[in-house]
Amino acid sequence: MNLYLDLLWSFFQIGLFSVGGGYAAIPLIQSQVVEQHGWLTMTQFADIITIAEMTPGPVAINSATFVGMQILGIPGAIVATLGCILPACVIVTTIAYFYFKYRNVSVVQGILAGLRPAVVALIASAGLSILMLAVFGGASTGVWDFPLESIDWIAVVLFIAAFILLRRTKLNPLYIMGGAGILGMAAYPLLNKIM
């Protein structure tokens, strides 16, 4: 029962403090699930975030469902998901009331403008953590001492190719993700045979 309460409270905090949407919640989920409670390793966390991004729905809720399922099965998935959405339901209902009442006040517009840089920083932090895990394969100790011999060159090439395709073409990101996955499935076994 204590683990259920821990799971509920952890995802309640994530839902409460993840200002800016699902991607802004990724570092908060990592902090709770990997660093504070040790429920998942960083590799398992990266896998869950990848699956959560590929499935329909908000990333934070999908992540909560997958983490809860990994830890306590279906009851855990339900508890984690409820914990994640409960603060949003209460906050959004309250904010909607006040926003419609005071939306033309300049202080409200200033607050919303001030939150944008914080959201961008949270998303960049999460993206950088996952990029470092993909490129260095977890070899880093987290103190910016990434050894060059541990670089996963296939991941680097796939990242650069995907980044260029996203910036230069109007391809759907899902096609690029799918293509990178297929190329990775082909390249890694081939590399293992050569080595």
In a 3-state reduction of DSSP, which class is residue 52? helix
- Burial readout 161-171 (b: 16 or more C-beta within 10 A, e: otherwise): ebeebeeeeee
Are 48 and 40 in contact by the 8 Å Cβ rule? The answer is yes
CB 71 within 8 A of CB 101: no
pTM of the model: 0.53
pLDDT along the chain (195 residues), means of 10: 88 81 78 88 85 80 88 92 88 84 79 83 82 69 62 86 90 88 86 70
CB of 39 within 8 A of CB of 10?
A: no
